Amino acid sequence: MKILVAGKNGQVGQSLVSILEQQEEVTFLALGREELDITDISQVSKCVSSFKPDVIINAAAYTAVDNAENEIEAAFLVNRDGARNLAIAADEHDAAILHISTDYVFAGDSSGLYTELDTESPQNVYGRSKQAGEQQVRESCERHIILRTAWVFSEYGNNFVKTMLRLAQSRKSLGIVADQFGGPTYAGDIAHALLSVAHSIYNRKAKFGVYHFSGFPYVSWHEFAQVIFQRALERGIISTPITLTQLTTKEYPTLASRPANSKLNCQKIFEQFAISQSDWRLQLQQIEKYQ
């Protein structure tokens, strides 16, 4: 099987490369923005035509949620147009596309878990750009799988876990939002899920469409932070406990509005591919790797 990875320098992209380097049965080409500008359809077409992948994994995205409110064109250029270009190239060269999307396509104002069939109603520019990307992928390539995930963290790049550990070096107390809920998801587990799906596609066993994959159990950002600092204390990364204060979303205003409920129902991906939800607590046991 041949896999083309776009966005190799992101959290999921770096996780994919780390795993793919250990898989002798897979030939892969992983490219970053400098090597493959997904917003350039001519460049994308030439790359796909030359490499001839069986599966394209789109791990490239504009993810600066707050900045997107003022950089609308840039967000849509990558998240909508870039996704479309990769999907078109996949369709033209008989490849399948695995496209990563987000919980932010939902308003987050309902109770319970969001399923793949629930109505999309993004509340910020980033979410709208990702929703537009999903639509372009659906329309441009019949052999597509859209994987929505949430609250991504890893040893790579910038994320909530690394931010908390950094702040712990200089702060004795922190206020953390306690009225937004979701499933923290380890990027390495997203990568494993994507590759499992890719193998199913290659073996002609995949059912195409939209799937959810996120971590479990569901928690607030405040609860997530509590576990992070508990692990850090246990592993000697910090020497004294951090005092955490619960904040409401109104008390911690951001440029872009965030969903209050980002809980994704992941039953469909389990039923189709036997992929279970990521256990983020397990992934925090070796918390020193996130420093």
User: Quick one: average pLDDT of 264-284?
Assistant: 97
261: three-class secondary structure by DSSP:
strand
List pLDDT tens digits, range 166-193. Answer: 999 999 999 999 999 999 999 999 999 9
**Domain-embedded: residue 199:** yes
User: What confidence score (pLDDT) does residue 279 get?
Assistant: 97
User: Quick one: average pLDDT of 228-235?
Assistant: 96
List pLDDT tens digits, range 108-154. Answer: 999 999 999 999 999 999 999 999 999 999 999 999 999 999 999 99
User: What confidence score (pLDDT) does residue 155 get?
Assistant: 97
Partners of 279 in the β-ladder: 216
User: What confidence score (pLDDT) does residue 102 get?
Assistant: 98
**Domain-embedded: residue 241:** no
What is the per-residue DSSP string for 50-118?
HH--SEEEE------TTGGGT-HHHHHIIIIIIHHHHHHHHHHTT-EEEEEEEGGGS---SSSPBPTTS
Range of the domain at 32: 2-158+184-218+264-280
**Domain-embedded: residue 224:** no
Per cent of the chain over pLDDT 90 is 100
What CATH number does residue 200 fall under?
3.40.50.720
Name the residues annotated as catalytic.
Answer: 126
**Domain-embedded: residue 232:** no
Number of domains in the chain: 1
The Cα 6–Cα 79 span in angstroms is 12
List pLDDT tens digits, range 60-71. Answer: 999 999 999 999
**Domain-embedded: residue 127:** yes
**Domain-embedded: residue 165:** no
Claim: this prediction has a pTM higher than 0.95: yes
User: What confidence score (pLDDT) does residue 81 get?
Assistant: 98
List pLDDT tens digits, range 91-120. Answer: 999 999 999 999 999 999 999 999 999 999
**Domain-embedded: residue 238:** no
Question: 10 Å Cβ neighbour count for 194?
Answer: 28
**Domain-embedded: residue 179:** no
